[in-house]
Amino acid sequence: MAPVSDIDIDTVFSYSNVVMQTGQQINKSKFFSRASLRQRVWAGGIFLAAAALYGLFWLDVHNKIDIGRWLSPCGFKQAYDLPCPTCGVTTSARAFVQGRIFQAFYIQPAGALLCSVVAVSAFLAFLIAVFGVYFKTAGRFFAEIKIKYVILAVLIIIAAAWAVTFVRALAEK
């Protein structure tokens, strides 16, 4: 059999992309495509924002800065002596940054879930920004999802996490 040159391979690929149906094409990818420059820039921004957020918590954990000084005391907790829906999110984020993932979920499940989503998003954004790999499934997911369902899901997660911390606070009394 004769060796196949680069020109022959290019001819085969161009033929398969022009003449063949989409389902028959050789280089058809169902999951990945090349990211556009705009997608790569957005992904880079998302990655940098997530890295800055984790960097702030890392500095707080290592006593370089004090995030608690920037956040005022919880007025709900001071008034009613019960945790508010977001009580424990900062403590949960600190535990998450230290690598104590299970403890972060125990402290405040919604906070740990938020940290997990940010970490996965940062990883995917890094892949898109640096390597130019765009995930088609993510594009389809965000194209089909309605913002009202996202808001509803976030509210349900926060309410469920508040119920957990609320019951824990009542049990301690």
What tokens were used for 149?
A: 């369902």
Output the pLDDT for position 19: 52
Output the pLDDT for position 137: 78
Q: Is the pLDDT of residue 7 over 80?
A: no
The domain limits of the chain are: 35-172
Which residues lie below 8 Å from residue 161, measured CB to CB, with a gap of 6+? 85, 108, 109, 110, 111, 113
Other Cβ atoms less than 10 A from the Cβ of 42: the count is 15
pLDDT tens digits, one per residue of 19-59: 555 555 555 556 778 888 998 999 999 999 999 999 999 99
pLDDT tens digits, one per residue of 58-111: 999 998 888 878 877 778 888 888 888 888 888 999 999 999 999 999 999 999
pTM of structure: 0.73
